[in-house]
Structure 1
Amino acid sequence: MSESAAVPAEGPFAHDPGSTAAFAALEGLPTSRPAPDAPRAVVIGGGTGAPMSIRTLLSLGVATDAVVAMADDGGSTGILRAAAGATAPGDIRKCLSAMAADSSDPLTEAFRLRFTFAENHTLGNLLLSALEQTAGSFPEAIAVCEGLLHARGHVHPSTLGRVMLEADTVDGRVVRGQALASHSRCALDCVRLRSEVPIEAYAPAVEAIRAADLIVLGPGSLFTSIVPNLLVPGIVQAVRASRATVVFVCSLADVQGETRGMTALDHVEALRRHGMQDLIDVMVAHGSGPVAASAASGSPAAAALSASEAADGVHARAAGDGAGPGAGCDAGPVRPVALSPDDARAIQQAGIRLVVRDLVDRSSPTWHDPARLRAVMQEVLSLCRS
């Protein structure tokens, strides 16, 4: 989710939606650095989804790094990129906050605080951009902030290049810019990165991926948070070269527009089109009631979620913002990501293990429940060890 998707609160200060609640839900769980022999995970994504996976894995004692998309150009990040020539700080800042040893520490809270009276900038964004100038590089800025927050892992940009996202919609339009693409009123078909110079992967990001035991994609915006990392030359190659189990955590619903009307199988096919052919080992999807119970039995046909069952707990709400409807595109309310029996079989026939569980947060129906996501990640770790 981009900077522009943050939900302002009344008063001069606000937090990004869901961040405080997600962190609070995992309080009381381990906060020390992972043991030297702990499994190593890398979360690939950005926005508000990757921090959820980061906090979840850290709470399980997993040594966790993050590789973060760098195409964000909305909100505070967009202003800093355009006005100060800064490297996109927003998604890096969110992942740094998730890495913090103590989410309730005053400095950590201040780091993610958003100034609603000053163009919705966050202290973390401003600090990263300022440190990029004073420390001499963006990686040095990140390292300083990791020290300030006592981060329990490292946050790596997927590239240090100044990249822009360009998207093709399913109705044949071209949308330029991550912020506009994320709010498209028509589903995206494919995306690509543009740059005035050749795009190169950030070497420490490649090294972290190659050394990982577990690679987690998402949850988060498919085309604007997850896929942009895969478009950087060297990132998919590092995934292929690793021995890691690759897990895709599918979104619960389309919140912004870029995946409007897409099923769980459509999500998988999009990843495969953008380099992940034959690389996804496990897919985590939402399902409840008898469907989730049947899926636990390991029956291929049972691990399926009908469109009506997918809607359980994921309430439609108005999208509210967009880049304009395209011909033949549905500009209606947010819909859950459906998983039909046929789609489930297709996913499994592609060699992907499908794990279906009730993952919705009843208080925020388009968000994963942190405790439930933690439980399913624990299952996935058990699968990795076996």
Structure 2
Amino acid sequence: MGEGGKDVNIVALGGGTGLSTLLRGLKKRTSRITAVVTVADDGGGSGMLRQDLGILPPGDIRNCILALANTEPIMYKLLNYRFTEGMLKGQSFGNLFLAAMNGISGNFEEAVRRMSDVLAVVGRVLPVTLSNIQLKAVFEDGGVIIGESRIPEYSKAKKTRIVELGIQPDDVEPLPEVINALETADCIVLGPGSLYTSILPNLLIPGVSEAINKSTAKKVYVLNIMTQPGETDGYTASDHVKELMRIGKITKLDYIVANSMPIPLELLKFYQKDGAYPVYPDGVDVYGTVVSKELVKVVKGLIRHDEEVLADTILSLI
């Protein structure tokens, strides 16, 4: 049960680090959480398993399961362990666990559910679709790139922006539970996370943005703290929201959550070397009510959202 007796029904869509950060904060405040996770990832250990075994990429799903799990510290450590040598070099044990669970289950959704049961997960984690999809981006310079991991690489190398984003094949179906979760939610949270490779891939699945737009839930977009090289170079807060609405076909946002805390100078210099700059909520109030909070938390020298402040902020909006 959440603080103050709130057990609100929250659906969070995304992938990568951002979504798991949000989930870690939310699980202490409500047990009714549904994480809807992109399956477009094709890089790293996930990409290797996807190619070798023909399964959906497990990495983002694994991170979300661990974020919502009530496990012993040793189990958490074990599932996050990456092999350092041999044929399994770079592969995480959690990914292998999910791949093995997939082998003894009817489908990937069942595998995710069984792994969640084993790890006593609060709420549930759902792949947005069970179809094998690839992300496709069209750039300002006319370049067309297929594959989630190659998109930011091309953008960085050619210093060109994404103008269109799609999925292949484009006629896939969402997981029915995802649509049901969106229709019955009290709050739908988009972000934080990579705009083009974590958040928008969920919205490109036919039926997902329609379900969000029809839902009576409060719709919240959590802006990233910094721009992301290869994805959102030079983007303002407004640019982020415009792209979310244009490509993701989101018609209305109730709230836009943004960071108002200045970034420490040393960190700012470190990030600027890579071409990343702060995203402050300038001029974004035309798209929804802006909620500015001091959201910065420094983890191992990297800027992250403070999961506690973020979760409290989202609950305060419902």
Aligned to 2:268: 315
Q: How does 1:318-337 map to 2 (within 5 A)?
A: 333-337=274-278
Q: 1:55, 1:376 → 2: CA distance?
A: 10
Residue 244 of structure 2 is aligned to residue 271 of structure 1: yes
Residue 205 of structure 2 is aligned to residue 232 of structure 1: yes
Q: 1:281, 1:314 → 2: CA distance?
A: 32
Aligned to 1:357: 293
Shift of 1:259: 1.2
Aligned to 1:189: 163
Aligned to 2:117: 147
Q: Which amino acid aligns with 2:184?
A: A
Give unmatched runs, 5+ long, in structure 1. 1-31, 289-308, 320-331
Q: Which amino acid aligns with 2:280?
A: L
SS at match of 1:48: helix
Q: 1:217, 1:176 → 2: CA distance?
A: 24
- Counterpart among 75, 94, 100 of residue 107 in structure 1: 75
Aligned to 1:4: none
Shift of 1:92: 0.7
Give me the TM-score of the superposition, normalised by structure 1. 0.74
Shift of 1:157: 0.6
Give the direction of change, closer, same or farther, for the CA distance of 1:221–1:73 in structure 2 (3 Å limit): same
Residue 129 of structure 2 is aligned to residue 159 of structure 1: yes
Q: Which amino acid aligns with 1:230?
A: L
Structure 1's consecutive aligned runs of 4 or more residues displaced over 3 angstroms after TM superposition are 32-37, 309-314, 316-319, 337-340, 362-366
- Counterpart among 196, 212, 217 of residue 185 in structure 2: 212
Q: Which amino acid aligns with 2:66?
A: S
Residue 70 of structure 2 is aligned to residue 133 of structure 1: no
Q: Are the aligned partners of 2:2 and 2:29 in contact in 1 as well (CA < 8 Å)?
A: no
Residue 223 of structure 2 is aligned to residue 282 of structure 1: no
Q: How does 1:20-35 map to 2 (within 5 A)?
A: none
Aligned to 2:313: 379
SS at match of 2:309: helix
SS at match of 2:164: strand
Aligned to 1:324: none
SS at match of 1:126: helix
CA RMSD in angstroms comes to 2.5
Q: 1:253, 1:365 → 2: CA distance?
A: 14
Give the direction of change, closer, same or farther, for the CA distance of 1:112–1:376 in structure 2 (3 Å limit): closer
Give unmatched runs, 5+ long, in structure 2. none
Q: Are the aligned partners of 1:73 and 1:88 in contact in 2 as well (CA < 8 Å)?
A: yes
Q: 2:258, 2:265 → 1: CA distance?
A: 13
Identity %: 32
Q: Are the aligned partners of 1:265 and 1:339 in contact in 2 as well (CA < 8 Å)?
A: no
Give me the TM-score of the superposition, normalised by structure 2. 0.89
Q: Which amino acid aligns with 1:88?
A: P
Shift of 1:248: 1.0
